[in-house]
Chains A and B, each alone.
Chain A
Amino acid sequence: MFSLSESGIDPARLRRELESPSAGAVVCFEGRVRDHNDGRAVRGLSYEAYADLALAEGQRIVEEAARRFAVQRIACVHRVGDLALGEMAVWVGVSAGHRAEAFDACRYVIDEVKARVPIWKREHYVDGASGWLHP
C-alpha cells in the first residue's frame, strides 16, 4: 500500500510488515535528502502533496507492480513537510519469493512514483534562496 507521512519514516517497522516464511527476498529503497542538486548546495527540502490524488495514484502504482511482478507484499511511504539533510524522503519495500522480481518491482514503484504522483519538492539552498522543482 501507499501512504504519505508528516513525520519521520521508520524503515524497521515497515520492513517487518513485508516478511513472510515464503519470502526469500526483501528489497528496500530509501530516498534521502541530498546536500546538493544541479550544482547548488542544499540545506533542506519541503514536500507538498495533493494528498487525495497522491494517495490514489500511489496506490494505483503499487497495484500495477503487484500485477506485473511475482511479488508478495509492496509498501511505499512518501514524506510531506519540511525535511533536513539526510532524512528519508521516500521508502519502498517489496518482498517476493526470489530477488529478481523484488528488485524489478521496487524499481518500478520508485520510478513511477517520481514520474506520476502529485508531490512537489521545494529545495532550500545554503545561499538562502529556495525554489520548486518542476522538471
Chain B
Amino acid sequence: MNYRLLYFASLCDAAGRSRESVASDARDALALYTEIAARHGFTSRPERLRVAVNGEFAEWNRPLADGDEIAFLPPVSGG
C-alpha cells in the first residue's frame, strides 16, 4: 500500500520533512506509526499522539486504504 504522510511541529523536525509518500505493509494507523517512528527516530509514544486519516481524527486501529493521507499529531498548543 502507498500512503501519504503529513508531519507537524516536533515530528516535522524529527522527520526533517513536512510530508512524504511511503510504501508500507502496515494495515492500520498504529502499525504504520510504529514503522515510521522507528525509521525517523520518533520518541513519542502513540498514547501521547492523535492520528488523522484523510483530514479527520481517527482511531489508532483504523484500517488504512491505499492512497490514504495520514497525520500523526503531537499534543496541541494553540491559543
Residues on A facing B (Cβ under 8 Å): 31, 47-50, 52-54, 56-57, 78, 89-90, 110, 113-122, 132-135
Q: Do B78 and A114 touch across chains, with their CB atoms under 8 A apart?
A: yes
Count class of interface residues, chain B: 20 to 34
Q: Are A118 and B73 in contact (CB under 8 A)?
A: yes
Interface of B is mostly: mixed
From A31, A56, A118, A133, give the contact of B8 (CB < 8 A). Answer: A118
- For residue A4, give the distance in angstroms from its CB to the closest CB of chain B: 10
User: Counting chain B CB atoms within 10 Å of each CB, which of A56, A114, A133 scores highest?
Assistant: A133
Which residues of chain B are within 8 angstroms of A52 by Cβ–Cβ distance? 55
Contacts of B73 in A (CB 8 A): 50, 118
**Contact, CB under 8 Å: B75 / A135:** yes
**Hey, which bits of chain B sit against chain A, CB under 8 A?**
6, 8-10, 12-13, 44, 48, 50, 52, 55-57, 71, 73-79
Instruction: Tell me whether A134 and B9 are in contact in the complex, defined as CB-CB below 8 angstroms, given that A90-B78, A114-B79 are known contacts.
Output: yes
User: Which of the listed residues A31, A47, A50, A116 has the most CB atoms from chain B within 10 Å of its own CB?
Assistant: A50
